[in-house]
Every structure is written in C-alpha cells, then in structure tokens.
Amino acid sequence: MLKLGVLASGRGSNFQSIIDEIEAGKLKASVRLLITDNPDAYVIDRAKRHSIEYLYLNPCTFTSKDDFYLKIAEELKQRDVDLVILAGFMRIVRKPLIDAFPNRIMNIHPSLLPSFKGLHGQKQVADYGIRISGCTVHFVDAGMDTGPIIIQAALPVSPDDTEDTLSERTLKLEHKIFPYAIRLYSEGRLSVEGRTVRIKGYELREEFIINPPLS
Ligand code: GRF
C-alpha cells in the first residue's frame, strides 16, 4: 500500500479530502506523517482526529533552508514514505527534499498552470478577468509551480467573482482531482518523460473539462 507523507501549513481541507478517500476505500494508501511549519495550523487538529502522526518543524531553528528540507527528507525516509504531498504548504521546496524524492512530490495549485503561479492564485485569476480557470496537480521540481502537470480541471469565471467566491469553487475541484492524482500514482499509471506526464489507459476526448476524466 502506498505510504504518504504530507506537508501542510494551514487549514488542510485538501489533506482532509485525501483522508476521506482513504477511509472510503477509494484510495489504497496510508498517511504515515504530517509535517507542518505552522504550530497553529488547523491541519494538526485533523491529523489528531484521524490518529495520524504529525510533526511541527520550525524553519527558524535550522541553520539554513537546505537544512530544514534535509530534516524533512530524513523524517519522511525514516517512515518509508513513497510519495510526498504538498497540501497547502506555503514554502518553496528546495533541492535536498526534491533530490530525495525525484518525481515523487505532488503539489496542488489553484489555477490552470502555467498561468498565475505563486501565492494568491485565485486573487490573480479574479483580478485578471479571465473566463476559464481551474486547478492543477503537478509533480514538484526546483521551480515555483513549474513541474510536470498530472491533471487539470477547469471552471468558468464570472466578472463578479472575487478571490473568495473563486477560491470556494476551485477548492471543490481540488478535493476531487488531488486524491485522484494520488490514486493514479498508487496504481502505477503515471510516468514522467521530460516535462510530460503519461497516464496509462487514458485517451484524449474533446469534451474533457477534467483532464484526465475521473473514473
Ligand atoms: C489550496 O487552495 C491549494 O490550492 C493551495 O493552498 C490551498 C490549501 O488549502 N496550494 P487547504 O489548506 O488544503 O484547505
């Protein structure tokens, strides 16, 4: 069974969606460890409620950023983690962790990448006035939101949308596609060629607004 390590800094609704899929038997995985950089994060309560081990690491107590990520990698390796999930982890992951888990770190971003990278994706979307937005699950590389894309889901944007209304609708889609991307990984269906992710058993159809479609 796939062993997950999760990094999160905030309320952890994506973390919850992953736990829910596991508990519903739809995702054959277990969360071995939650690591957070925020001692007040609500995600900690969620971990406690589901008896998941958690660890708070204060980045300020490390001599360098690389040291912080080295420690994270060590903790994850100690628990034999196969795949690392960034579920609202508000930092740019650095080389020591990426090298320890090459193409084995997934992130969710609240826009259709490569548009609107970085912080406050939904605000950037609302301010720009685009018509279609969405969310993206991708593997993590050394850049900010630049790694190979696994799955994207689209939603319409209205001129009346605000950061809040858009965040709420985007989040609902995030909760569907993130556990699904993890499931594809757990079924051994993902392979990475350069910056392209191939998915076994998947054929393109024009009407897909979630690509690949959930099955
Ligand atoms: C989500 O919008 C996600 O796309 C972004 O951070 C937010 C995390 O939300 N990376 P939550 O903590 O999972 O509720």
How does pLDDT run across 151-203, given as a tens digit for each residue?
999 999 999 999 999 999 999 999 999 999 999 999 999 999 999 999 999 87
How does pLDDT run across 97-109, given as a tens digit for each residue?
999 999 999 999 9
Q: 166 alpha carbon to ligand 1 midpoint, in Å?
A: 13
90 near 9, Cβ under 8 Å? yes
Q: 88 alpha carbon to ligand 1 midpoint, in Å?
A: 4
How does pLDDT run across 114-131, given as a tens digit for each residue?
999 998 989 999 999 999
> Strand 54-56 to strand 83-86: parallel, antiparallel, or no bridges (unpaired)?
unpaired
Q: Which atom of ligand 1 is nearest to the CA of 16?
A: 13
For residue 207, name the pLDDT band (cuts at 50, 70, 90). Answer: low
Instruction: For residues 7-20, give the mean pLDDT.
Output: 98
Instruction: For residues 25-45, give the mean pLDDT.
Output: 98
Q: Any residues with Cβ below 6 Å from ligand 1, and which?
A: 8, 10-14, 87-88, 108-110, 171, 174
Confidence (pTM): 0.94
Q: Percent of the chain beyond pLDDT 70?
A: 96
Strands (E), the chain: 2-8, 29-36, 54-56, 83-86, 105-109, 132-139, 149-156, 190-193, 196-199, 210-211
DSSP state of 109: E
**Where is 179: in which H helix or E strand?**
helix 163-186
Q: Which atom of ligand 1 is nearest to the CA of 170?
A: 2
